[in-house]
Structure 1
Amino acid sequence: MRFTLIAIVAGLGGLLFGYDTGVISGALLFIRHVFHLGATMQGVVVAIALAAAAVGAAFAGTLSDRFGRRPVLLVTALIFVAGALLSAAAWSVAALLAGRVMVGAGIGVASMLTPLYLSEIAPPAKRGAIVTINQFYITLGIVLSYGVGFLLSHSPEGWRWMLGVGCIPGIILFIGMLTLPESPRWLAGKGRDDEARRALLYLRDGGNIDDEMHDLHQDLATTGKRTPWSALFTSRARKPLIIGVGLAIFQQITGINTVIYFAPTIFEKAGLPSASISILATAGVGAVNVIMTLVAMRLLDIVGRRKLLLFGLAGMLVTLLILSAAFMIGLHGGLALVTVLSVAAYVAFFAIGLGPVFWLLIAEIFPLAVRGRGMSLATIANWSFNMLVSITFLDLVKGLGRGPTFLIYAAMTLATIVFTWFLVPETKGRSLEQIEAALEGDAKLAT
C-alpha cells in the first residue's frame, strides 16, 4: 500500500504535462480572438511552450544526475505554478508567451524526470504498471483540462481560468514530493549506501533488499562514476540511444499532438456547430485516452511492451487512413461523426501502444551511468518534434488540406511499424541491470 501511494504522488509530474498539453486546445479558441492571432501565431502560442520543454529536458538529465531526482522535481513544480499564473494574468501576447515558456520548461523537466524516478523506485515485476502511472496521469490531466475548458467555455474570460487552474497540480506535486525519498539508484551511484538502503527499505515496506543492493553495486562497479555526455555515444549506449531517440521522434511525427492541441479546431472544421460542442467532443476523446491507458497499465507487464506497441501502431495507421479519406472525399452530413469516431479510435490505439510504451522503454533501456542523460536526449527529441509538428499543422492544413495532412501522418506511422519490428526489444519482467547487460552485449531480448 505504501509503495502504491508513493507511485501515485510521484506520477503527478505527468498531470502537469497532461493538463497543459490539453488545456491550450480549448483556450486557443478564445485566445486567437482576444489577441487577434492568425494561423502562424496560434502555432507559436502552442509551440513556444514545446520549445521551452525541449530546453527544460536538455538540462533535466544533468541536473538530476548532479542534485538528485527529488530536488529537481520540487523546483520544477514551483516553476510550473509561476508559469500557469502568469499565463492566466497575461495582458499582452508577450506576457502570454513568457508564461508559456515557464510552463513549458516545467513540463519538459517533469516529462523526462517523472518516468526516470518511477523506474528507479519500482520493483522489476511491477515496473511497467508503475512507470505507466505517469502516462495515466498525462491522460487524466488532458481529460481534466478538456472538462475545465468545457465548463469555462461560455465565459469570454474563461480562458484565463483554464490556464490558471494549471497551478493546482504543480502545488500538489510540490507538497507530495516533500514526503518521498530520493531514488536509491541515484544515492548508490553517489556512494551514499546507507541512505540508499534506507530509501529501499522504505519503498519495499521493510522487505528484503539485499539482492537489489547487490545488483546496484554490480552495475556501478561496471559503469564507474564518471559519466560525461560523450558516454552516450559509446558502443554500449548506441543501441539504446537509437531506440530511444527514434521512438521519441516517431511518437510525434505520427500526429498525436495535432489531435491533442487542435482537436476542437479539427471538429469545428468537420462541422460541429460551436466551440462548446467541439470542446465537449474533445473531452469524450480524452476520456477514451484515460480508459485505454488504464488498459495498457494492466497489459504491459502481462502481454509485453513490444506486442502492445505493434498492435497500437497498426490501429493508428488504419484510423489515420480513414480520417484522411473522410476529409478528402468530403462526406456530406456524416463528416463530423466519422471525424469524431476516427479521432477517438486513433487516440485509443495510441494510448495502448506508442503513448505509454515510449516513456516506459526510455526509462528501462539506458545504462544506469547515463540513464538521466539518455532519457534527457530522448525527451529533447520528443519535445523538439512535438514543436515542429504543432507549429506546422495549421499551415499544412491550409496549404495541402486536412486529408493529405493526415495521410502524411499515416505514412509516418507505417515507418514507425518498420522501425519497431526490426529494432525495439521486449523488456517485460527483466531488471534494469539485465536489460542493460543484454543491450550492451547486443544480445537479443525476447520479441
Structure 2
Amino acid sequence: MFPQKRRLLALAAAGTVLALTAACSGGSGSGDDSSGNADGTPSGKISVLTWRTDLVEDGTFDTYVTEFKKKYPEVTDVKVEGVKDYEGTVKTRMNTDDYGDVLAIPGSVTPDQLPDFFEPLGDQAEMEKDYRWLNDKSFDGKSYGIPVVGNVQGILYNKRVWEEAGITEFPTTPQEFLDDLQTIKDKGVAKVAPLYTNYKDSWALSQWDGWRGAVTADPDALNEMTQTDTPWTPDSDYGVIDGTIYDAVKQGLTEADPTTTDWEGSKRQIGVGDIATMALGSWAIPQMAAAAKDAGADPADIAYMPVPVQVDGKFHTVAGGDYNLGINVHSKNKATARAWIDWFNHDSGYSESQVGLSPLIDGAVPAALESFMSQVEMITMNPAPAGKESLFADIDTASGIVTTDPKYRLQIIDDARSGARTKEQIFDDLNGKWAEGRADAGA
C-alpha cells in the first residue's frame, strides 16, 4: 500500500478551432415559442444538449428534470438530448440557430466567438464572487458559461497493479515515471499496457494538456507561451508532456498496437488491472470505478496520482472547470434556460456525484478528494491579459499545430513507433511552426 500521506483515493475534450461565422437565421434554440412568464418566472419548454450520454441512458437526467420541474411547476418540458461526438456534432449545428437552449460550450469556441453564439450570463467580476473557473468562457468582462464541475489533473492508475509491481512511492520526475512503467512491464502485472494512450479514440490524447502549469508550477504557463518562439524544451510544460509520451511509446511501455485501442474497453481493462495507467482528468475516476465494479473488480483499486514533477519539493495540480453550460443566444426561453443552469449548479448534486470540485466558491470538497487535495498544491491558470484573450488560439491556429486537436500527438506516437523522427527533431519542428504562428499573429 502507498503510505497514507502519499496515497491518493479514487476521486474534460477539446476540438479543433471553431470555424464558424455567426449563426444564420431560420430556427430557434428550442423550437418552442414560450419565452417564460412576463415576470421572468421559468415556464414553458427548453431543450438541453449534453455530452453525458451515459447519464441520459441510465435515467439520471430524467431525475434531474423531475426535480427541476418540482421547483418550477410552470415548466412543462425539459428535453435532454445526449450527443455523441459532442464537439464535432454541436460545432456543425452551431452553423444554424438550432443548437438547444442550454448546452455545454464546445471547447473549440474561441473567446472572441462567444458573443456570437451565447447569451452573456453576467459581469465576470461580479459572478466571480460566487463561481470559480470562469476565465475560459469569458470575454471582454462578460461571462458566457458556468462550469458544471471542477476537475483536478494528474494520472489515473490501478493502485493494486502498482503495488503488485512493488512501487510504493509516487514518481517525482518524468524519468521516475518511465522507470515505474518499465518495472510494471517487467513484472508482467499489466497484461495490456503499463500506459494506455487511447490512440484510436484520439480525443483522450488532449487530456495530457491537464499537465500544463503543473509541470512548472506556473499559473501563467500558457500566457508565457505566447511570448516565446521555443515552447518545446526539455523542461517546459509542453516539452515534458510530449516528451513523456514520445519516450513511453519509444520504450515499448504503451499498448502494442495503438490503432486498435478502445475507449469503452479501456474502462474495464484498467478496472481489472490489464492496464496500469492512463493520463486523464479526475472526471474519469467515477467512470473507471463503475467499470471495475461491473467487471467484478474492486472499485477502490482505481486511484489518482499527481503529475510526476515536483517544484520546490511539492507536487502541483491544475484545477479548472469542466464543460461550461451556456445559453444559445437565439433561445426563445432564456429565463428558463438560465434557471436550469443555476439549478444544475446549486441543487442537482452533479459535482458531488462526479466526485469533483463544486464550481461554487463555497462548495465542499468531496470526501474522496480530501486526501489528494491535502498532498498537492492547487493551481488555477491565470487568464490572458486584457485584449489578448484570443492570442494563444490565434498563434495556435496560425502555426498549424492546433494543440486542441490531437492530430499532432498522433504524429508524435507514430514517429516514436517508427523511429522516423527523434524527439529533438519533433521539438525543432514544433518550435519552428510556433514561431511562424507568432509572427503571423503579430505576437
Common fold by TM > 0.5:
no
Q: What TM-score do the two structures reach when normalised by structure 1? A: 0.24
**TM-score, normalised to structure 2's length?**
0.24
- Whose helix fraction is larger, Structure 1's or Structure 2's? 1
Q: More strand by proportion, 1 or 2?
A: 2
